[in-house]
Structure formats: structure tokens, C-alpha cells
Structure 1
Amino acid sequence: MRRSELLAAEAEACLNKALSRLKDIWEEIGIPEEQRLQRTSMVKNHIKNLLEMMIEEEEALRKRLMHSIHKCRAEMQRLCLELQLPVFQEEEGLSILQQEKNIRIEVEALMKERAQRMQQLQDLLDQEQDLCHTLDCKAFGLTADAVPSQEQLESFKHYISHQNAEKAQRHAEFRELKKRVILCMEELDHIPESSFEKDVVHEDQDSCLSTDNAASLRLLLHQLEERRVEQEGRCQAHRVKIEQLWELLQVSTGDREAFSEHMVASRRRNLEALQAEERRLEELKLLNIRGVTDALRSQILALWEKCFYSSEQRQDFPAFFRVDFDEDLLALHEAELHRLKQHYEKHQELYSGVHRWRESWRHLQELEKKAADPSRFTNRGGNLLKEEKLRRELQKNLPKLEKKLKVQIRSWESEQHCSFLVNGQTFMQFVEEQWELHRAQKEKERLERLWKKSQQLEEDMRYGTTVQSPIQHRFLGQTTPKKAKQMFNATSSTSCGSSQRLLYSGCRSPGPIPTLSATKAPTVQTLGGFKPPHPGFGGYNKENKGQPNGTPPCTQRNVSMASIAITYSKFVRDLSMASNSKIQHRVLNSTSTNL
């Protein structure tokens, strides 16, 4: 049983007890029956009115709860619609009081959510207003009249964040542009004229970072930079002209240093100073026309050399040879010098390549000359390998450079519609001629070496050879008889053997004689490069008799003077015939008889 039912039963028992007590009191008092009925009726009416009043109050409470439920439901539906949220689903089987409580709590939560969204919206709208004023951009589109959804708020927040980043970027850009504009104005000594220029220089432009202002600021900066570049170009042109005039007029170093301040900066006052200095130098130039003209001719001559002008090409500028110095002649020389400078600068790569080829060619010839010098072996010092390596590199790189120059020359000739000449002849013809001269020189040197070897061979066959054995001198000028006899025998036998080798040497290329070793082997030295044979051994020459003391005579054939006195051409012809036969130890017909 419920507690409320127990309380109702207790109330009923109390009522019955109270009525019973009243009855006892009335009986004890002796109240008549009619008054008892009247009093009992009053008790009943009082209890009835009290209960009815209580019922009315509870009924009013129920109605208020039901009204609150209906009102909260309506409010909840409206809030869910505004907040774009799903409708709250009520639980079934709940009492009116619980339903009202649940709905009321949900409505309060929705109202709180709505208030938060509206506050966020208002904050974002305030930021948007400031950004739109600063950046001069369009609004996002949300207003304070409607409650935004959560997605709209997120998008709005992202938009505001993006605009803040854009504001920071524009702020930095405006600062940089403003700084550069002010710097250009200072370099140009420019005074702000328009209201926009004054605002840029004197006021803070961060209050309006619109794209129009940015475009105007960029345009102003572009105009100022163009003026600055133009002014720098004019200053540079004046500097170049002033330096040329300084060189022509041979201005002292002290005067140049006194003017050095204006040779660096390019402000308006520097430009005015440069213009004044150029006018002053031009006046001095007119007063010294002959000296200036001679200086210009020196520069023209140097450019002619760089551009490989021939005598005929130089004759195309007859003013170079005139002696009547005046302003017109000076102007002609200045124009010709300017034309030559432009021409050389335009084709500097080609001319530099030709100069590089000539320098490499000269270096190669020097190395070839050193390689052919026998004395280079006396002082080595590691230079032989370096020179040989450099010579091979030059021989390898020169054809590559010639090929590259050939392409450049072809392009130059198609552009200039004339042939590229080096000292009056085409470059490739010049190169081929140099190579042909080089090959001819090498052939000439080879023939000279062959002729010298043949002459040496004739002298060896005519006068014989000498043998010097290395002698260890205990005392200067002192020799023992035994050693003298041994040296005599060795000299005779070696001389005989050398004569036989000389007779057969025509079939091979003469090789170098090996140097002495530590074993004291005898060394054969020809008369062409050393002293004549010892007079004591004159009777034992190859063309005379055999060796004394029973020594077997040398197997040597008699060689006549006619066979020795051969011509160089016949020797070369016989040498070629012997080489082609590929037979070793064959005796040439012109140098010996049959064995």
C-alpha cells in the first residue's frame, strides 16, 4: 500500500475520532439533537470546503503543469527549429510533473545554446565589421536577426581567421611598400605632391589595407623605381663618359679622388654634379683635340687588334690617317670607337675564343720545341711529365675549340653577311695553314735528324770509333802497365766490333747508346761528339791491319772512299728500301761490299 493511502486512512481515522469526540462532548454538555445536527452539518461543510479548496489548488497546479508542458513544448520546437537541431523525444509513461521538469530542463539548455551562439555571432560580426573596414572586403552574409547553425558559425570563424591572415599579410606588404616608396623618394629627392603621396609619407596607412590602396601604392612604387632606374642609368652613362674623358685627358688621380663621392651614389645632386663634370671635361677636350684624338686612335688600334682587322679593313676608316685635327675628326673617332666597342662586346665570346686558340697554339709550339730539345733531360725536376701532360691536353682540346669556333663563325658570317677574317684571311684557312706549317716543320726536323744521323754514320765509318773504359785513378795521371795493356786490348777488340755493327746498322733505326753501369763496361763513343782516337792506337784502326800479339783480326770489309761519300738522298732511299725488306742484319749496297 502506498504511503499516501496510509495517510488517507489515518486522516479518515482522525476524522472519525474527532467526530466521536465531538459527539461525546455534545452528549456531556447535553446539546439537543437539533443543535447536534446543526453542528455536525457545520463540521461537514467546513471539512468539505477545506477539501474542495485543496482540490481546487491541486487542480490549479495540474493545470499549470499542463500549461507549462504545452508552453515548453512549443518553445522547444521553436528553439530546435532556430538552432537547427532535432526535436527532443519525450519518454513515455512519465507523470505530468516529470514531463514538465524534463521539458523545462531541455528548453533551458536550448535557450542557453541559443544565447551562446548569438554571443559568438555578435563577436564575429564585430570582427567582420572591422576587417571589412580595413580590407574593404565583402561581408560573410550572416546577420544578428537569425540564430546561426553550428556549421555556419564554424564557416564564419574560418572566414574571420582567413581575413585576419590576409590583414596581417597586407599589413606587412603595405609596410614594405611604404618603406620602399619613402626610400625611393629620398634617393630621388622627391617631395610628395599628391594627397596620396602625403598620406603614404606622413600618415598611417594601416587603417585601410584595401586592394585599391595596395594597387595605388604599387603603382607609385613602380613609377618611382622607374625614375630611379632611369636616374641611375643616366648617372652611370655620365660616369662612363667621365672615366673615358679622364683617360683621354689624363686627369690626375687626386682630381679623380676628389670627385669619387659622385661616382658611387645616384641621387639628384650626384646627377647634377656628374653633368657639370662632363660639361667641364668636354670643354677641356675641345681645347686639347689633338691629344684626345691620339688617345682615341690608340683605343681604336687596340680594338682593331682584338677584332683581327686586316690592313684593308683598317683602310675603311680613312679618318684614322688624317692629320687635320678638328672637332669633326674627333667626332668621327668617337663614333668609330663606339661602334667598335659595341661590335666587340656583342661578339666578345667569339674573339676571346680566337685569342684563346692562338694562345694555346703558341703554347703548344713552345712545348713541342722543348720536347725536341735534348738538353731537357739534364734538368728534370718533375717538369717533363707536366709538360708532356699539358702538351697532350692542348693537342686534345685544340680540335674541340676549333669545332666550337667554326659554329660561332658560321653564325657570325650569316649575321654580318661577310667572311670572318683573321689578319686578312678566313679563320679556318688560318688554322689549316698553321697546322700545315706545323706538319711541315715537324717533317723538316725529322729529315734534319735523319741527315745528321747519316752524317754521323759516315764519320764513324770514315774515322772509326773510340772506346773509353772507366778507370779508377788511384793517383792523378798514374796507370799500371797491366791495366794499360788490358785497356789497349779492349779498345782494339771493341773498335773492331763497332766497325762491324756500323756496317749493319743501315738496316735499323739507330738507337741511343746505353749509359755506363757500375760494372765498368766499356763505352763506345763516336768521334762526332767526343775527342779523336788516342794517337797510340792509330796503327790499329779498322781500315789498317789486324790486332797485334796474335789477336785474331776483325772480320771487317774494306770500305772505299767512293762508297762513303754518298749523297743524302741516296742514303734515305736505300734506308727506306732496307726497312721495307724487313730483313735484319742486311748490308746496304751503298755502304759495304758483299760479305
Structure 2
Amino acid sequence: MKNGEEMDPEMCAVSQEIVEAQTRTLKELGAIWSDMGVHGEAKTARLSAVRTHVLRLFQDMVDEEESNKLIIIQRIEQHLKDLSKLRKELSGDTSCSPDEGLDSAPLYQVEKCLRERWENLQKVKEERIEQLVELQRRLDDVRYRLGKNDSSPYNGGITELELEALKCRVTLHEQERDRLQASFEETQSAIQQIFHDLEMTATFPFDKMVLSTPPNAFVFSPENMAALKKLHQNMEQKLSDAKHDATELRERLSNLWERLQISSHHREDFLHAHRGYSVPTITAFKEELKRCEAIKRENIENFVLQLRREISSWWDRCHFSKSQRSEFRAFYFTDFNEDVLELHELEVKKLKNFYENNRDIFQLADQRAELWEQMHELEKRANDPNRYNNRGGQLLREEKERKTLAKTLPKIEQELRERLVAYEQANYTPFLINGENLLELIDQQNEERHGLKELQKYQKKVNRNHMLEIESKLGTKATTPTSVKRGRLGPATPSMLGSSHKTLTLAPPHSAPQRTLTSKRKAEISPQSNGPTKSNEPSSSKTRRNIMTTLPSDNFSIASGIGPYSEFQNQLELMSAEKACRSSVAPKSYLRELNTPVSNPSSMSSTTKMTLTPGRITTATHLTVTPASLAVTPMKPPRRNNVSATPTPVRRTSTRLNLKSPGIKSPAPGNSARLTTPRSRLPIVF
């Protein structure tokens, strides 16, 4: 309590008790001193001693408490220092004060709180130190396994970040160790298997260590891993060499056995006893080969002859020409010795290597030749005029084959060209087939095929122009139209008519034949006999019927076939009297109807121009006659020249006739066209 401050009631009560005790004590001392006769200076001295003793007692008590207070303050200061140091070691942060929030607290409470904080931080420090020791131990162990012996003591702190970084470092090293250990296990297993397959034993210390050391004890130093990799490569090479040697020795031994005609029993026993490609097996093969070579030298002539037959076979397989074959002069030697035998063996080996190195070129060339022959066969079939007879789906199959060839052949040729160019660049010589440059041969064949196609097109064009020239000089040529099924005639639709048309010009009856024919496509008309056909016969889908009559010769035309008009008039009168006309198309019930009265013609215009389209006939001008009336002559509608699965009906049209030319004679009955009587008016058609 500071001076001038009021005491609390408890201290006031204690003070009152002390005053009362002091008063009572002084009274007792005064009574004692009175009884003793102490008066004057002696009493004063004794009272002074009492006062001094009491004051000294109070002062001692105050001094003692001051000392206790100072000790507490010193403890608080020490705790603050320790806390600051621990906070720095554990977190590295010194910005926060350790006595934060304790400014107004009593010293005893401050000291207690700081002491508790220090104890907690000390426990954290001890835990982190233990963690650090464990991480350091793991790091030292993994670094030793990795062959990194230059490890130094850990000088870092124990902060959370530093410990996390150390933990990551240890984890990375352990992952590297695990990776190398897995690689070592795989490599060790492969090396052990190779040693087992080759029936070899380790002779070098490192080889023994690799084969005997467990994976968790091997030191994965850079030197050891490099030596392990080299050992694995050497063993792989030995294994590959052993396999190659064993295969080659087996092949050579098999050829020798075959040429020496060794019994199959001996061969089977030997191969059964020496399997695989181990060192003892290869040694046994070499010994057997040496024995057979000695026998071979005793039969050189037979061996040379066998090798020559084999060389001839390889020549045929490689498509060598005579000049290429003649380069091997030893083939024609008559003296047989070891040198000649060796030359033949080398030639066989060279031919085998040549074929194997260029196997893809030979295969592509053979494939291309096969496709080329198929293409020629298809083109030959396409030019065959009998290809539409008894086809049975053959045309569809040929079209599919043609499309497949059109896609496959260019790809094969392109790949073959690339291989040939690569061969020529690598060997500085062209690839020959039967002595000819295969690349140039392909180009030459394609050029010849293209030229042949152009020649065929030109020949067709010349023939077509020649036929047109003959037709323009001699008149109409009989052609064969596409057949129409019976009973399917009817009005033509625009889709049935097509876009092509023909223009036919008729000259006067007594003038020279003249005809002009223009068309994008010519309707082919086949000859038909003049005899009547039965309309009630069943029609067949395969039956083709002709519309136009047969022309007598190539010089015959429509105009030249017209007879005297009197014959035509008589025929019309006869049909008018019978009220019917014959037809090979319409049924008999349709032939009983008449559409116009009969009139006698007196004259006819000199020319009539008619336009013919498939399924339709229209006139550009009308025929005029002077008599009053004339029966409309029926016609047989021409069939549309269209190849389709469904027959195309024929559209009928009519033309009014006005006869004005008496000089025109009617055609003879034998030369008149067949007629039919439809329900509508129809034009005259020859």
C-alpha cells in the first residue's frame, strides 16, 4: 500500500488490534517497571528499546515482502524472455508480446499465466524436436540408400514451415528410392532370367552382388545404377545374339541335314536334346554343324547342284532377267570345289537378303499386277456386246468390282511408287523387274492404257460420223426401239417423254429420198414382220415387240416406200366398208370405231415436216386434200426408247388431214404401214 492511501477495513481492523495490543503491552510494561522501581532514564531507555524493536520488526517485514515482490518480478521477466525465445523457435514470429493482456493483472497472476504459457510452448518444442530427430533419421537413411554420403547435420529450426519443408524433402528422397528400388527389382529379375535361360553363372563381383543382394539393401548410387544398366544391356545383347545364333545354326543345320539326307530320327533326337538358346545348346549345334560340314566337303558336287536349283528358285521369285542371272558366273562352272561351293552359298544368302529387304515391294508389285489384270478383264467384259445376255446380277457385281478397283489400284500404285523412289535413293539404282525399271513400267502401262482409251473414243467417233454420213445420203435407217410391255399403253407423262426429239422431212413421192435427222440420242427401231399378231396372247416381261416394219435395204427410206395414192384410197375405202382395221397392238374391240367420214383425196402438199419424240408425234404442217371427206387413218403409236423396269405408255395425238393434191398416189397395200383405230384422232405414221 502506498503512502497516503486509505487502508481497507481488514487492514484497519488489524491496525486497531495492533494499537490495542501495543497499548496493553505498554501498560503491562509500565506496571512491571513500576514494581521494579524503574523510573527516569532507565524507563526512557527501556521505552526507546521497545519502540526500536517494534519499528525494526515492521521494517523487516516490509523488507521481506519487498524482496518477495522483486523475486516475482524477476520470474516474470525470465518467463517473458523464455516465451519470446520459444515463440521465435516455434513460429519465427516476434511481433506479438508474450505478456499481452496482462498489464493490469497482479504480479502473482502474471507470473502464473506466463509460467503456464511457457510450459505449453516447451511441450510443443519437445514434440517438434522429436519429429525433427525422426525426419533427420529418415533423411540420413534414404540418402545413404541413394548413395549420397555427403549429408551434413540439420541446421534448420523447428518452426512448422521448416519441419514441413524437411518432411517434403524426405518424402521426395523416399519416392526416388522407391522408384529406383522398383527399377532394380525389375532389372534384377530380368538379369536373373537371362542367366537362367543362357545357363550362365556370374563371375564378376558386381554381377554376383546384383544377383544376390535383396532390393531393400542395394545402394542405388549413380555408379551402381549405371553399372546395373550396362550389365542389363550386355545380358540383353548376349540373349539376342544367342537367339540369333541358335536360329541361324538351326537353319544351317537343317539345310545341311536336308542336303546330306540325314535320317529324321537323328534330327528329332538331336533337337529334342538341345532346345532353347543356352550356351551349351549353341555349343552342341556348333559341334554338329562342324561334323556335317566335314561330310558336306566329301559331297561337294551334289551340294553345288542343290544350291544351283535353290538359286534358280530365288531368281524366279525376285524376277531376275537373263542378264542379271548371267552376272553370277560361278553358276556355270563345271569344276566343283570348296570355293565354288562357298560362292554358291554366298549367292543364296545374298538373294535371300535381297528378297527379305524388299519383300514389301515384291508384294505390292504382285498385288498391283493382279489388280491390273482384273481391270483389263472388266474392261474386256464392258466391251463385250453379249454382256447383257443371261447376266443374272453379273453387271452389278462387275460395277462393284470396278468401283473397288478404282479406289484400290491408285492407292497401291502410290505406295509402290514411294517404296520404289526410296529404294532408288538408298541404292542409287532403279528397282528392276525382269530387267525393266518397275517405276517406268508402271508409267508406261498407264500411258498405254490412256492412249488405248483415247484411240477407242476416236474410233467410235469416226464410226458414228461415218454412219451419219451414210444415213444423210441413203435416207432413214431402221433402228430398234426399246420394248414396251403389252397392255401397258397409255398417256405419256412429261417424265416419260424425255428431252430428245427428232425432225423428219418427207419429200414428194416421186422425188429423190431426203431425210434430215437431228437428235441427242437416236431411237433404235428393230425390224418386224408385216404379219398380224394376236392381241389376246399373254404378254411377257421378257418379250420385246417391234413397232416399225422391216425396211427392205439400207437405201430404203420412208419417202421411197410410198406407193400410188389410188392404192392408199382403195385401202381406206376397204377399211371404211369393213369399219375396222387390223392392228397388232390394240384389241379387236377398239377396231370397230370410226371418228371421221371418208373423203377422196385429190392432192397433197409436196412436203410434210414431222417432229418425233419418244412416245409422242406432232406435225409441223398438215396434209391437205381436195375431196370432201376422208377417214382418219389409224396408226400404231411408236414406243418410247427408254430402258426401264416399268414400261412407258405411249401418248396418242391426232392430225386433221386436208387432201388437195390429186397427183399423190396412195401406197400399195403391200407397202402400207400397220394401222390401229384409237378413240382420238391420230396422225399418219410410216
TM-score by length of 1: 0.66
Does structure 2 retain, via aligned residues, the 8 Å contact 1:232–1:266?
A: yes
Does structure 2 retain, via aligned residues, the 8 Å contact 1:140–1:156?
A: no
Does structure 2 retain, via aligned residues, the 8 Å contact 1:308–1:422?
A: yes
Which one of 431, 438, 444 corresponds to residue 432 of structure 1?
444
Q: Where does 1:146-157 land on structure 2 (aligned, <5 Å)?
A: 147-157=157-167
Q: Deviations over 1:110-134 (max 9, x none)?
A: 4344333332322222222222332
Which one of 192, 196, 199 corresponds to residue 189 of structure 1?
199
Match of 2:340 in 1: 329
Match of 2:627 in 1: none
Match of 2:596 in 1: none
SS of the residue corresponding to residue 499 of structure 1 reads: coil
Q: Deviations over 1:552-585 (max 9, x none)?
A: 12279xxxxxxxxxxxxxxxxxxxxxxxxxxxxx
| C-alpha distance in 1 between matches for 2:446 and 2:22 | 156
| C-alpha distance in 1 between matches for 2:325 and 2:104 | 121
User: How many pairs does the alignment contain?
Assistant: 493
- In structure 2, relative to structure 1, the CA distance for the partners of 1:168 and 1:465 (3 Å cut) is closer
Q: Where does 1:392-411 land on structure 2 (aligned, <5 Å)?
A: 392-394=403-405, 398=409, 401-402=412-413, 405=416, 408-409=419-420
Larger CA deviation: 25-34 vs 219-228: 25-34
Q: Where does 1:72-471 land on structure 2 (aligned, <5 Å)?
A: 72-76=79-83, 78-79=85-86, 84-86=92-94, 88=97, 90=99, 91-137=102-148, 141-143=152-154, 147-204=157-214, 206-207=216-217, 208-245=219-256, 248=259, 257-261=268-272, 265-322=276-333, 324-373=335-384, 377-394=388-405, 398=409, 401-402=412-413, 405=416, 408-409=419-420, 412=423, 420-427=431-438, 428-429=440-441, 432=444, 436=448
| C-alpha distance in 2 between matches for 1:311 and 1:279 | 36
| C-alpha distance in 2 between matches for 1:26 and 1:417 | 144
SS of the residue corresponding to residue 266 of structure 1 reads: coil
Does structure 1 retain, via aligned residues, the 8 Å contact 2:197–2:277?
A: yes
Match of 2:658 in 1: none
Tell me the CA shift for residue 163 of structure 1. Answer: 1.6
Does structure 1 retain, via aligned residues, the 8 Å contact 2:260–2:296?
A: yes
Match of 1:554 in 2: 671
- In structure 2, relative to structure 1, the CA distance for the partners of 1:70 and 1:139 (3 Å cut) is farther
Does structure 2 retain, via aligned residues, the 8 Å contact 1:249–1:291?
A: no
Which one of 487, 497, 513 corresponds to residue 550 of structure 2?
497
- In structure 2, relative to structure 1, the CA distance for the partners of 1:350 and 1:132 (3 Å cut) is closer
Tell me the CA shift for residue 173 of structure 1. Answer: 2.0
Tell me the CA shift for residue 359 of structure 1. Answer: 1.8
Tell me the CA shift for residue 285 of structure 1. Answer: 4.0
| C-alpha distance in 1 between matches for 2:226 and 2:430 | 54
Does structure 1 retain, via aligned residues, the 8 Å contact 2:140–2:151?
A: no
| C-alpha distance in 2 between matches for 1:519 and 1:303 | 77
Q: Deviations over 1:400-443 (max 9, x none)?
A: 65566556555555665656544344443587369759977996
Q: Deviations over 1:184-236 (max 9, x none)?
A: 22222222223222222233353333232222222222222222222222222
Does structure 2 retain, via aligned residues, the 8 Å contact 1:320–1:333?
A: yes
Tell me the CA shift for residue 52 of structure 1. Answer: 4.1
| C-alpha distance in 2 between matches for 1:78 and 1:231 | 72
Give the AA of the match of 1:11: V
Larger CA deviation: 207-216 vs 276-285: 276-285
SS of the residue corresponding to residue 126 of structure 1 reads: helix
Match of 1:508 in 2: none
SS of the residue corresponding to residue 209 of structure 1 reads: coil
Q: Which of the two has greater helix per residue?
A: 1
Give the AA of the match of 2:444: E
Alignment partner of 1:62 is 2:69: yes
| C-alpha distance in 1 between matches for 2:422 and 2:15 | 131
Consecutive unaligned residues in structure 1, runs of 5 or more: 459-463, 475-490, 506-515, 522-549, 557-595
Percentage of identical aligned residues = 26
Tell me the CA shift for residue 32 of structure 1. Answer: 3.4
Match of 1:531 in 2: none
Does structure 2 retain, via aligned residues, the 8 Å contact 1:184–1:228?
A: yes
| C-alpha distance in 2 between matches for 1:344 and 1:89 | 91
Tell me the CA shift for residue 239 of structure 1. Answer: 2.8
Match of 2:8 in 1: 5
Q: Where does 1:37-56 land on structure 2 (aligned, <5 Å)?
A: 48=55, 50-56=57-63
Give the AA of the match of 1:68: R
| C-alpha distance in 1 between matches for 2:58 and 2:159 | 52
| C-alpha distance in 1 between matches for 2:61 and 2:420 | 124
- In structure 2, relative to structure 1, the CA distance for the partners of 1:201 and 1:33 (3 Å cut) is same
| C-alpha distance in 1 between matches for 2:528 and 2:13 | 168
Aligned CA RMSD, in angstroms, stands at 5.0
| C-alpha distance in 1 between matches for 2:19 and 2:448 | 156
Give the AA of the match of 2:214: D
Give the AA of the match of 1:180: A
| C-alpha distance in 2 between matches for 1:179 and 1:167 | 18
Q: Deviations over 1:437-482 (max 9, x none)?
A: 99779969x99xx9xx99xx99xxxxx98689888999xxxxxxxx
- In structure 2, relative to structure 1, the CA distance for the partners of 1:86 and 1:34 (3 Å cut) is farther
- In structure 2, relative to structure 1, the CA distance for the partners of 1:98 and 1:266 (3 Å cut) is same
- In structure 2, relative to structure 1, the CA distance for the partners of 1:264 and 1:104 (3 Å cut) is same
Give the AA of the match of 2:17: C
Does structure 1 retain, via aligned residues, the 8 Å contact 2:529–2:549?
A: no
Tell me the CA shift for residue 142 of structure 1. Answer: 4.5
Match of 1:537 in 2: none
Larger CA deviation: 47-56 vs 23-32: 23-32
Consecutive unaligned residues in structure 2, runs of 5 or more: 471-476, 479-526, 538-544, 559-583, 589-635, 637-666, 674-686
Tell me the CA shift for residue 86 of structure 1. Answer: 0.8
TM-score by length of 2: 0.58
SS of the residue corresponding to residue 191 of structure 1 reads: coil
Larger CA deviation: 402-411 vs 291-300: 402-411
| C-alpha distance in 2 between matches for 1:473 and 1:150 | 113
